[in-house]
Amino acid sequence: MLKHSKILWPSPCKLNLFLHFIGQRDDGYHRLQSLFQLIDFGDDILIETNDSQEIEFHCDVAELSNTDNLIVKAAEALKAYVAQATNQATPNKAPMGASIRLTKRLPFGGGVGGGSSNCATTLVALNHQWQLGLSLDQLAQIGLKLGADVPIFVRGQTAFVEGIGEIITPTEMPEIWYLVVQPECHVSTAKIFSNPLLTRNSKAITIRDLNALGLPFKGRNTMQDIVCRDYPAVAEVLKWLVQFSSNARMTGSGSCLFIPFDNEQEVRKIATRCSWPHFVAKGVNQSPLHRKLEGFIKPD
């Protein structure tokens, strides 16, 4: 019989240290190249499994407290995948119920991937707690249908990313500090992607070029100029950040911006002068989610 468990899981965020587009697929989706830096800061997801077949979801943010949430969608997608994989003649009767509570710290729709990370954490956590034994590959496949950035969080490693987010090459980055600032506006990802001025033919690079070209910090986010033009609140934060670092940059399709720093004290001092919502956190090569998972799997 399945032993029930109650576990608190981390759901970290990411920063795109550079981001450009090298073409479009037949379905219109843009083929990107990016360095996804995982960050040791994020939401918490508390999962308690139970004997029902129901997914119960609670969240401290009213706006996200509905079944449209990527957490609920992840749990349902996992159940559907298992149901399909199980021989119909001997349907899987194992209880797949859970009560899930999200504590939200990450801005949503800010380009830090909070929703995608919540989705990935739910897949990885429920696979562990329901003892499904699916591989990270299988979980990434399920996740990709729910969002392009989900597989990166399922893999849980800082990585050079291609395709629309499904081609992932882990790479080690210096584990430095970041100040992440959230301008007072929400950027529509779809709107930025549909802007005719967006550069869609950047020169494709290889992972070897990362060092040779001085990337990621010498790279750029090709969405940044368009977002700054359409959203003055983003331009205002960028202007404030560039006085502290020439590497100030937007993450994803915005609206959040960041500056990298080697020195924690220095970045924390700058943060005290920041009047917009913000956080300071460290870049990590391995996701805190996978560190937690390893803790369960490692022998004593």
Binding-site residue positions for ATP: 107-117
Residue from 37, 49, 116, 129 binding ligand ADP (CB under 6 A): 116
Burial class, 261, CB count within 10 angstroms (exposed 0-12 / middle 13-18 / buried 19+)? buried
- Residue closest to ligand SUD when measured from CB atoms: 252
70 is in the binding site of which of ligand SUD, ligand ADP, none (Cβ under 5 to 8 A by kind)?
ligand ADP
What are the distances in angstroms from CA 113 to CA 57, 80, 121? Answer: 20, 24, 12
Q: How far apart are CA 22 and CA 222, in angstroms?
A: 11
182: phi then psi, degrees, rounded to nearest 5: -110, 105
Output 111 or 143, the one with its CB closest to ligand ADP.
Answer: 111
Per-residue x/- marks for ligand ADP, 193-232, CB under 6 A?
Answer: ----------------------------------------
The region of 46-54, 105-113, 130-138, 222-230 touching ligand ADP under the rule CB under 6 A is: 105-113
Residue corresponding to tokens 């990885």: 124
Q: Does 149 participate in catalysis according to the annotation? A: yes
In whole angstroms, how close is the CB of 125 to ligand SUD at the nearest point? 21
- Interface with ligand ADP: number of residues (CB under 6 A): 15
- Among residues 14, 73, 79, 104, the one annotated as catalytic is 14
- Asked if residue 151 binds ligand ADP (CB under 6 A), the reply is no
Interface positions, 111-170, toward ligand SUD (CB under 6 A): 111, 113, 147-149, 164-165
* Cis peptide bond N-terminal to 216, omega within 30: yes
Output 35 or 270, the one with its CB closest to ligand SUD.
Answer: 35
Burial 8-25 (b: 16+ CB within 10 A, else e): ebbbbbbbbbbbbbbeee
Nearest to 35 by CA among 259, 251, 213: 251
In whole angstroms, how close is the CB of 252 to ligand SUD at the nearest point? 3
Positions that interact with ligand ADP (CB under 6 A) = 64, 69-71, 108-116, 118, 252
> Where in the sequence numbering do the catalytic residues fall?
14, 149
